[in-house]
Amino acid sequence: MEFNWTVEKEGPQQLKYFLKDQGISKGLLAKIKFQGGKIEVNQSVENVLFKVSVGDQIRVTIPDEKEHETLLVDNVPIEIVFEDEHYLVVNKPAGVASIPAQYHPNGTMANRVKAYYKAQQYKNQVIHVVTRLDRDTTGLMLFAKHGFAHAMLDQELRKKEVVKMYQALVGGNVSALESHGTIDLPIGRDLSSILKRTIIESGQFAETEYWLLKRKGDQALVNIQLHTGRTHQIRVHFEAVGCPLLGDDMYGGQMDTGIVRQALHCCQLSFIHPFTKQRLELTSPLAEDMKKIVDQL
């Protein structure tokens, strides 16, 4: 894959510093050098110590990424929300994990995306998961289609410039929910469980912002934005304020509403595309099991 830039900064500078400003790391430079890539200045191959000047044309060829053979293929079709040569956004269904685990090596979104890449005969075959969702959470999931694209979005993630919005159906003491509020309670491991998390003074800082959309009786629909990324954060925070997610048996949610998984959906994903510099605003409608309940509110 090729990337092209024009030097705009006045005065000579070493090529390695110019490339660093474009987001190319030392690790990627090593990959280019030792795995068949090349760096050209005005169509001549140069090393990273070469001094470039304003107006120089830089072309970087990054070698293709061969598949990880240990990652199995799952030929279940995926629902594509957005795709270009750098990124793939899919709509994840309930009951499907994001990535394989030791005792569940297949049937995940990563396995399905690998099958799609192979069917399309893409040159880059490594699966780069940028944003994950819990097994029973539905909605938008973001993949990078090559390592450079992944690294560029990781920079945005660290700066909190990738915005994910969720919708959740909650029950219980929903009359106490404000039209707009923030839950900022520390989250740590629940010592009684390998998986479960709980509110604990010694836990990590966690902040969840929400907006009340609909409310009827003891059920409500809320929009949610996470400002931290703790495990089970939304589920733990809403249990803590007396409004656990419907269908969430781990955290005390109502189990008699017709939904048998935590009622949580990633409905919106927004970020600045690192290569086009355009803001992407992607949305996903609620899964059918959640929509049926929302229609009754």
SS3 label, residue 291? helix
Q: Point out which residues pair with 197 in neighbouring strands.
A: 189
Q: In angstroms, rounded to a whole number, what is the distance separating the alpha carbons of residues 91 and 249?
A: 24
Q: How many whole angstroms separate alpha carbon 140 and alpha carbon 82?
A: 10
Which residue stretches of the chain are H helix?
15-21, 26-34, 109-120, 147-158, 233-240, 288-294
Closest CA to 232 of 134, 132, 151: 134
Q: Are 45 and 39 in contact (CB under 8 A)?
A: yes
Strand partners, 163: 270
Burial per residue of 17-55, b for 16 or more beta-carbon CB atoms within 10 angstroms, e otherwise = ebbeeebbeeebbebbeeeebebebeeeebebebebeee
Task: DSSP letter for 116, please.
Answer: H
By the 8 A CB rule, do 219 and 170 touch? Answer: yes
| Structure tokens given for 296 | 């009754």
Residues annotated catalytic, as ranges: 134
Say how many Å lie between the first and final Cα of the chain, rounded.
Answer: 50
Return the closest-CA partner of residue 118 out of 185, 161, 72: 72
